[in-house]
């Protein structure tokens, strides 16, 4: 990444809620920009992200870490808040404890406090964006998405959902870079699930290298066979992401190319509606999935239909 002077510093806080750290590790895997561009050099010419708090990599522990987080909150200058993980709300939030200012707090409470003082929020990964794996049925810890938690608390902040379990690093750096260079995405630039259309604007099925096999009725019947993975349960026809074009880990591979059906991990319906992962999508289901934003809550609408299981 080309560096330039002067450099504008942008304060950022990465708060980890009920998460697996996969989103953090994914962010480390960026090739262009790299994580070095992100935290040491410049994410875009003239722009440096000053990552005040990031529990997986920050040097300080304990009060040293809690104090810098508190100081960033109190500075009154706003910051970009990145949250990975969903927010546990059951049992008064005790399933996710967190150090607070002046004592014990919960992830749910801290996330809301941090969001109030933030300039904008990036919900990093499907758990933060929609609940994801951590809210999977029967959701014993009452995990909710960042959007739902903020709505419930009446906190109005711009939120961008960088979906994926975990997201492609470009989806994260591209979104942050866009915010720094061009401002928050406009309503036209995000889809109904709050994701940047730049990355999530196309049906994965339409971009897939195996689409030709689908059209020609060449279907893999068993793992390891060539052909379209539709019969093996691929959720590509339900999933919006540019995985086939972008590919993961330096553009080397992605799920379907590696012989695995897409699990739909960028969608609000992941994982409950996406599983059984190897269950073929019945033909009547193909056009019937939509996102319901009418209620103000993201949900998958899938009209009842006769089961088409093999």
Partner 1 sequence: MADTQTIRIDPITRIEGHLKVEVVVDAGDVKEAKCSGQMFRGFEMMLLGRDPRDAALLSQRVCGVCPIAHAMASALCLDSAFGVDGQIPDNGRLMRNLIFGSNFIQSHILHFYHLAALDFVDVSAAADYEGADDGLKSLRGFIGRGELAPFMPRYEGDYRLPKEANQQGAAHYVRALEARRIAHEMCAIFGGKMPHQVGIVVGGCTETPTADKIAAFLSKLEWLRRFIDDVYIADVLAVAAAYPDYFGIGAGPKRYLSWGGLDLETKETNLLKRERFFPAGRVGADLTLEAADAEQVAEYVRNSWYDDATSGRKPAEADTVPAPDKESGYSWLKAPRYAGQPHEVGPLARALVAYAAGDEAVKRDVEAVLGRLEAGPEALFSVLGRHAARALEARRLADAMLGWAMALKPGEPVCEWRGVPESGTGRGLTEAPRGSLGHWCEIQDHKLTRYQLVVPTTWNASPKDDEGNPGPMEQAIIGTKIRDPENPFEVVRIVRSFDPCLACSVHMLTPKGREIGRCRVL
Catalytic residue among 48, 234, 240, 263: 234
Nearer to partner 1, 22 or 158 (CB): 22
Nearer to partner 1, 153 or 278 (CB): 278
Q: How far apart are alpha carbons 3 and 43 in whole angstroms?
A: 9
| 212 and 177 Cβ atoms separated by less than 8 Å | no
Least separation in angstroms between CB 220 and partner 1? 10
Least separation in angstroms between CB 248 and partner 1? 4
Distance set, CA 164 to CA 23, 76, 241, 243, 251 (Å): 9, 31, 9, 10, 16
Catalytic residue among 127, 134, 168, 202: 127
Catalytic residue among 10, 48, 262, 263: 262
| 72 and 11 Cβ atoms separated by less than 8 Å | yes
Give, as one character, the DSSP assignment of residue 215.
H
Nearer to partner 1, 101 or 197 (CB): 101
Distance set, CA 239 to CA 203, 218, 264, 266 (Å): 6, 21, 5, 7
Least separation in angstroms between CB 127 and partner 1? 9
Nearer to partner 1, 94 or 181 (CB): 94
| 122 and 199 Cβ atoms separated by less than 8 Å | no
Least separation in angstroms between CB 259 and partner 1? 3
Catalytic residue among 47, 48, 165, 240: 165
CA-closest candidate to residue 130, choices 305, 292, 308: 292
Q: Is 143 a residue of the active site?
A: no
Q: How many CA atoms lie within 13 A of 110 on its CB side?
A: 29
Q: Among all residues, which ones are annotated catalytic?
A: 20, 23, 127, 165, 205, 208, 228, 234, 243, 255, 262, 265
């Amino acid at each position: 990444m080309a560096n330039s002077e002067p450099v504008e510093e942008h304060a950022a806080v990465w708060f980890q809620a009920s998460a697996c750290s996969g989103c953090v590790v994914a962010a480390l895997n960026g090739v262009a920009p790299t994580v070095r561009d992100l935290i040491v050099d410049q994410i875009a010419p003239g722009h440096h992200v000053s990552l005040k708090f990031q529990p997986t990599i920050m040097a300080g522990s304990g009060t040293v870490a809690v104090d810098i987080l508190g100081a960033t909150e109190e500075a009154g200058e706003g910051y970009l808040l990145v949250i990975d993980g969903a927010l546990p709300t059951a049992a008064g939030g005790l399933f996710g404890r967190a150090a607070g200012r002046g004592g014990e707090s919960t992830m749910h409470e801290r996330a809301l406090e941090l969001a109030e003082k933030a300039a904008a929020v990036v919900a990093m990964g499907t758990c933060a964006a929609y609940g994801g794996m951590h809210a999977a049925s029967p959701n014993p810890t009452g995990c909710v998405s960042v959007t739902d938690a903020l709505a419930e608390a009446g906190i109005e902040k711009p939120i961008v959902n960088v979906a994926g379990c975990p997201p492609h690093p470009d989806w994260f750096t591209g979104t942050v870079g866009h915010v720094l260079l061009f401002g928050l995405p406009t309503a036209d630039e995000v889809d109904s699930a709050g994701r940047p259309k730049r990355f999530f604007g196309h049906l994965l099925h339409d971009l897939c290298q195996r689409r030709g096999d689908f059209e020609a009725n060449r279907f893999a019947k068993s793992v390891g066979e060539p052909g379209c993975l539709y019969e093996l349960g691929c959720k590509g026809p339900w999933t919006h992401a540019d995985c086939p074009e972008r590919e993961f880990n330096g553009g080397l591979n992605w799920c379907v190319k590696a012989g695995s059906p897409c699990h739909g991990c960028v969608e609000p319906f992941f994982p409950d509606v996406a599983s059984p992962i190897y269950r073929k999508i019945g033909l009547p289901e193909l056009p019937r999935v939509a996102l319901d934003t009418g209620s103000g809550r993201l949900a998958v609408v899938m009209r009842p239909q006769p089961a088409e299981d093999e």
